[in-house]
Chains A and B, each alone.
Chain A
């Protein structure tokens, strides 16, 4: 191992996870440094979502360690809420709170977790809605927004906690094609501004534009972990190549 000044922002070491008899994650190790955007690809059921959920402790790992900002945060239920504040997460199905308007969805965590005043939280929420380019939808409820708009509110909701890293779990796979772009544009912009991101997606266009590294998973294992240049330059594992050929058609 190379000596280094600062540890990576996020460090997964030998993560194991089983559901019942089924081994879902096998000895997965992955580092994400500050400012990096890492894209995870892989076939359905390969354990991408589970790996992401192990990062913010939504799923307890059976073995291995998760280090966040140099601290071991593995399986400490007491510390979990504290850790999750700094890790934003965006879901495939948006999961906006259906009883709250767009602006209230964004205000909830700053107020209830950080104890921010309603006034300050409202200011931040409006500013973030501007950032995700829907400033005029503040008072709309989730069922009054398109999928693309809902996902952008969900991104704003995560950003309101000023996270150190964003996790995205297939953020565009529930969207109609014409809405995928508007969400990816927001994500690309965030990455360009230096937001550390770990993204599960099959949008290879996004990976090309925004990713520093590509990780390929299959059957619970990390098979390839290459820089974007290497990956798209063709020096890539056969199985990853095969998978790519499939999703590109």
Chain B
């Protein structure tokens, strides 16, 4: 294997562009996926039968068909109905709609994990239902749903490789093209692998930072939660009882 060539691939324009597209697709799809998931979760919590029924159909459609199918459908079939998007927009759209179906479940279970008594206590203090959501339910649910959302983020990074099927210039497509042009599969795929691992590592670091931010105890004066302490899980459970 030529390390020199791996390096050249890494810094080549197509690879950088491909990695950028992969990152962009992942982040946009995740963002819109969370939005879609939030809407569905709230519709499921609502008492309206119509809203409830609509979410069931949605989940059935998007969990019951392959993502690959959904990507190809949005890009190739919708245009025959006069609905046309660029490849990358189609890709983000299909991935977001698909992600939303899974995100809804995560968000809903997070909201439900906040016990009813916590809401009651908020209401009893005179907070309006909206403020109870904002100041009591959401902050507690956020801590519960963040780790699974982090996993979804890394899953999404890998899922994004599928959009090469509609010719979006993402990392895997670029690597594949370079490899078959130069007959250097090992080097080209190694370069792509390095990018994927770098992005995964970046996401994990971001996830950890956010989790740290959401941990209320890290705000306490005079006792900053150490990174090492946190990794080892020794900062919790300091119960007085």
Contacts and interface: CB of A to CB of B under 8 A. Distances in A.
A and B physically associate: yes
Interface of B: 117-118, 120-128, 131, 135-136, 139-140, 143, 216-217, 220-221, 238-241
A58 B123 contact: yes
9 tightest A-B CB contacts, nearest first: A85-B126, A95-B121, A109-B125, A89-B124, A84-B126, A113-B126, A95-B117, A99-B139, A99-B216
A101 B121 contact: no
B135 A112 contact: yes
A58 B135 contact: no
Contact of B238 (A88, A144, A161): A144
Residue from A80, A91, A109 having most chain B Cβ neighbours under 10 A: A109
18 contacts: A58-B123, A80-B123, A81-B126, A81-B127, A84-B126, A87-B124, A97-B136, A98-B140, A100-B216, A108-B135, A109-B126, A139-B220, A140-B240, A143-B239, A145-B241, A146-B240, A147-B241, A161-B126
Nearest to A78: B128
Interface in A25-81: 56, 58, 80-81
Chain B interface mostly: helix
A97 B123 contact: no
Nearest to A82: B126
A84 B125 contact: yes
A92 to B, nearest CB: 9
Contacts of B118: 95, 97-98
Nearest to A84: B126
A206 interface: no
A93 interface: yes
Nearest to B134: A112
A141 interface: yes
A95 B114 CA distance: 11
B92 to A, nearest CB: 33
A206 B120 CA distance: 26
A141 B117 contact: no
A125 interface: no
Interface residues of A, number: 35
Contacts of B120: 58, 91, 95
A161 B240 contact: no
Nearest to B124: A89
Contacts of A149: 240
A158 interface: yes
Contact of A81 (B128, B135, B143, B238): B128
Nearest to A89: B124
B204 to A, nearest CB: 24
Nearest to B139: A99
A196 B3 CA distance: 80
A53 to B, nearest CB: 8
A118 B126 CA distance: 18
Contacts of B127: 81, 108-109, 112-113
A112 B131 contact: yes
Given A81-B128, A95-B121, A101-B216, 4 more contacts: A56-B124, A91-B120, A93-B117, A98-B140
B143 A99 contact: yes
Nearest to B239: A144
Given A144-B239, A157-B125, A161-B125, A99 B117 contact: no
Contact of B117 (A91, A100, A108): A91
B240 A141 contact: no
A58 B240 contact: no
Residue from A96, A112, A143, A147 having most chain B Cβ neighbours under 10 A: A112
B217 to A, nearest CB: 6
Contacts of A58: 120, 123-124
B123 A84 contact: yes
